[in-house]
A = this chain, B = another copy of it.
Amino acid sequence: MTDDQVADDQVTDGSATGATPPEAPELIWLRPERTGRGPRPAHSRDSIAAAAVAIADAEGLDAVSMRRVAAALGAGTMSLYNYVPKKEQLFDLMLDAVVGEYELPASPSGDQRTDLRLLFRRQLGILRRHTWVPRLVVGRPSLGPNGLRYTEYFLACLADADLPGSAKMEALSLLNGFLCQYAEWENTAAAGGKWQTDLVSYLQRVVLSGDYPHLTQALISGGTGTPPDSDAIFDRTLQQLISAVLTPTAPDPRG
């Protein structure tokens, strides 16, 4: 599984230029930021991430291109590829930078529910400043330095919980998923514009068709496009989820 595709690389030819192009790792955290050879790099991962984040904040995620970020750094486009070999990894840098914005307490207070609630409420604040984050956190775990510290803190909050380690990881994933989903919902609700208008008139048409009684009732009993008046919905749901997650394992009520 390790070396099946470079079998016939330099075998027949003894020339000098690099015996094995050593398969750059897919994960950017696996390559050292600095090797100590060659000229001193002009940029750091932090500055690159900051530049990219600034662009995404100001003009949206689609405005983040390699050219654009390189230009923002005052570098040639292709120079950026020395630091970030793939655009996906630029996204990794951006996510880790955002996770790092939360100044974590030194250690949890000990009250699990309160600690978790505070943690995720802060995270929601961060996501509100960086509305592009949810689109990026699909299946890719954010495990850069800041992501690791964040994960470690989350697990420290659950240190006393009577749960297997895997359940704690699942809890993290579940709560983060909810967080991003809620943030993204806020985004679309606040987007306004033509899409919003179209959606409303479409739903009106749907309601008037009379073919969807349950949907109709659900819509009229609670405003649809209406953004949440406060964080009440978030808080309430968050607490429900925390409770669900902390419950060791419900006895299976299978029929």
Does A250 contact B244, Cβ atoms closer than 8 Å?
Answer: no
Question: What is the count of identical protomers in the complex?
Answer: 2
Q: What are the residues of chain B within 8 A of A243 when measuring CB–CB? A: 244, 250
Does A139 contact B148, Cβ atoms closer than 8 Å?
Answer: no
Interface flag for A169 (CB, 8 Å): yes
Does B208 contact A165, Cβ atoms closer than 8 Å?
Answer: no
Bound-state Cα–Cα, A210 to B235, Å: 35
Q: What are the residues of chain B within 8 A of A224 when measuring CB–CB? A: 169
Bound-state Cα–Cα, A39 to B144, Å: 56
**Out of B152, B247, B252, which one reaches A215, CB within 8 Å?**
B152
Does B143 contact A139, Cβ atoms closer than 8 Å?
Answer: no
Does B155 contact A218, Cβ atoms closer than 8 Å?
Answer: yes
Q: Which one of A12-20, A22-30, A41-49, A77-85 is at the interface?
A: A22-30
Bound-state Cα–Cα, A168 to B170, Å: 24
Does A165 contact B113, Cβ atoms closer than 8 Å?
Answer: no
What's the nearest-Cβ distance from chain B to residue A234, in Å? 10
Q: What are the residues of chain B within 8 A of A209 when measuring CB–CB? A: 1
Q: What are the residues of chain B within 8 A of A195 when measuring CB–CB? A: 26-27
Contacts A188-B139, A195-B27, A239-B250; A1 near B114 (Cβ below 8 A)? no
Contacts A178-B177, A240-B247; A25 near B212 (Cβ below 8 A)? no
What's the nearest-Cβ distance from chain B to residue A123, in Å? 16
Does A237 contact B206, Cβ atoms closer than 8 Å?
Answer: no
Q: What are the residues of chain B within 8 A of A218 when measuring CB–CB? A: 155, 165-166, 168-169
Interface flag for A255 (CB, 8 Å): yes
Interface flag for A231 (CB, 8 Å): no
In residues 83-136 of chain A, which contact B (Cβ within 8 Å)?
Answer: 111, 113-114, 134-135
**Out of B159, B199, B217, which one reaches A165, CB within 8 Å?**
B217
Interface flag for A221 (CB, 8 Å): yes
Bound-state Cα–Cα, A219 to B148, Å: 13
* Given contact pairs A148-B206, A155-B215, a sample of 15 additional A-B residue pairs in the complex whose CB atoms are under 8 Å apart: A1-B209, A27-B195, A27-B198, A114-B255, A134-B139, A138-B138, A139-B185, A151-B212, A165-B222, A166-B223, A168-B218, A170-B233, A174-B178, A174-B237, A236-B250
Q: Give the 6 A-B residue pairs with the shortest CB-CB distance, closest first.
A: A166-B222, A165-B221, A165-B218, A155-B214, A139-B184, A177-B181
